[in-house]
Every structure is written in structure tokens, then in C-alpha cells.
Amino acid sequence: MTVLRVDGVANIRDVGGIPAAGGRIRAGVLLRAGQLSGATPAGAALLREHVQRIVDLRDGEEVAAEPTEIDGPETTHLPLFLGSVRSFFETDISLEGLYLHLLEESGDRLVEALRIIAAGERTLVHCTVGKDRTGVTVALALSAVGAEREAVIADYALTESQLPAQRTRRIAEYLRSQHPDAVHAVALATQSPAPVMRRLLEQVDERWGSVSGYLRANGMTEGELAALTQALVEPGE
């Protein structure tokens, strides 16, 4: 994968180059990022040049607070959290619990996101930080087309190092002041440990047989899975 530099956008990268069954993930087809609302005019111009579709996984409250206004790419809003993001800090859910919640409660939206990717246009998937909702969505897309598991996990884990250090410190201090008894709040907002994604993918295998099995159980067809592979995988020589 390739870390990109887009003015005003954090944690943005192209997952192209990851080894996959029969080849590797195509460059330029699937990008991931944090929110785009801070993009400078130069950053927005770069996105318009390289992105045809945007999948925004944020909820309505987040979109209203930090609207994205980038003309050109078609944007689809698919809020993955059924409820306010704040509620997860209030209930002190763990990353593991959060990701299972996404799989169990938002399967139809996850499948819809992958259908957009399968259309083969240059697609950017993002949420607020580009860590959890984006991380799960991209991990499912890559895993469904046979991407090497440890490379998928490494892509997820990379996020923590891509978040602005000042932002991480500020968020951690705020959460500790607002939720002093919470065990998981800081990790929920700032961390992307490889073992968490590894365990999630193992749980998918245990419960649904495979990521493809999970997607089928949530309405994705064999034809759509084949289209996802065609869109994402560049055959090896």
C-alpha cells in the first residue's frame, strides 16, 4: 500500500500492491482515508483528479458537523453505526466489540459499500478517522478477493501511525476527562492494534466460514463477488 499526501486529509492511502490470490490489488482503484472536510483547495483538486466515487461511512451528526464539499466524485453516504458515535464511548465498548457490532448490525451497508467498489471506478472509502468503519470495510473488501491476510492486517494496523500526534493527544485527554472510568475509550478513538483485526477475521471464518460467506449471508451474490475480484485484483504474469 502507498501512503498518499493530500493537503488537509489525514490517514489517506492506496491499498494497491497488496498480494492477492492470482496477483495483487490494483493500484489507484481503492483508497481509504479519514474525513475529507479539511481538504485544502489543492487537496480537493487532487481528489477530483484521482477519485470517481466516495463512500462516506459517517453518521448524520458527523456529516453535519464536518461536511465534505468536493465537487466531481459521486458521494454515497452509508452510515455504519446505527446510532450516535458518542454512544460507544458512553457504553465503553471495546474495539473487538465495536467491530462485531458492525458485522452484526450493518451487514447490508457493508455489502452496499463493496458493491460500489465492485463497480470498478476509482473509489475512496472514508469515515471520520479512517480507522474503524473504514478499516473493517476495506479489510472485508480485500479479504473477499483473496488478499494476503497478514497484509490486510498490516494495512489496518498502519492507521495508528498515520493519525496526527497532536490530535491523538488532544482526543485522549478529552476522553479521560469526560469518561474517567472508561477502560476502552482511548483505544477506541486512537488505536488500531493488529491482533484486533486478526481476531476479527478469525471470528468471521468461525461464524460464516469466510469473508465471502459473510458477504453472501448479507445479500452479496456470486456475480457481485466476481465483479469485486475483477475490479480489485490485477492478475499476475
Task: Enumerate the domain spans of the chain.
Answer: 2-230
For the chain, list the strands marked E by DSSP: 2-3, 13-14, 19-20, 23-25, 30-33, 53-56, 74-77, 123-126, 233-235
With beta carbons less than 8 A apart as the criterion, state whether 131 and 159 touch: yes
With beta carbons less than 8 A apart as the criterion, state whether 197 and 157 touch: yes
pLDDT at 110 over 80: yes
pLDDT at 82 over 90: no
Fold of 2-230: Protein-Tyrosine Phosphatase; Chain A (3.90.190)
pLDDT band at 134; cut points 50, 70, 90: very high
pLDDT at 179: 64
19's CB contacts (< 8 A; 6+ apart) are 25, 147, 148, 151
What integer is the mean pLDDT of 192-211?
Answer: 97
Give per-residue pLDDT as tens, 147-169.
Answer: 999 999 999 999 999 987 777 77
Burial per residue of 30-63, b for 16 or more beta-carbon CB atoms within 10 angstroms, e otherwise? bbbbbbbbebeeebbebbeeebebbbbbbbeebb
